[in-house]
Amino acid sequence: MALDQTEYQKRYDSLTARFDTAKARLEEIEAAIADKKSRRAAIEAFLDTLAQADLMDKFDPALWCGLVDYVTVYARDDVRFAFKDGQEIRA
């Protein structure tokens, strides 16, 4: 039985469009999952560093590097500390 080529092409194009849409959505979801896994690993490392820390009476560079991501100085009285878990405080 011969198929009508125009009908076949319409159906093929329709299925191809659905596949491309589904594939793009899958890639978005996979990227979101990878991002969440990366953030989870960073938070777990932060919590491990924090759990190993004892109350200290002197500066510990290893603890500082394990907890603080960066410090931004906007002015003499506006210094902000960004921690590796995403939290930011103003000092």
- Specify the amino acid at residue 33: I
Tell me, what's the pLDDT at 28? Answer: 97
Span 44-57, pLDDT tens digits: 888 887 777 766 66
Per-domain residue ranges for the chain?
A: 5-90
End-to-end alpha-carbon separation of the chain, Å? 79
Instruction: Say if pTM beats, i.e. exceeds, 0.85.
Output: no
Both structure tokens of 64: 């500082």
Q: Which residues pair with 75 in a beta bridge?
A: 78
Which of the residue ranges 43-47, 69-73, 83-87 has the most confident prediction, judged by mean pLDDT?
69-73
- Specify the amino acid at residue 28: E
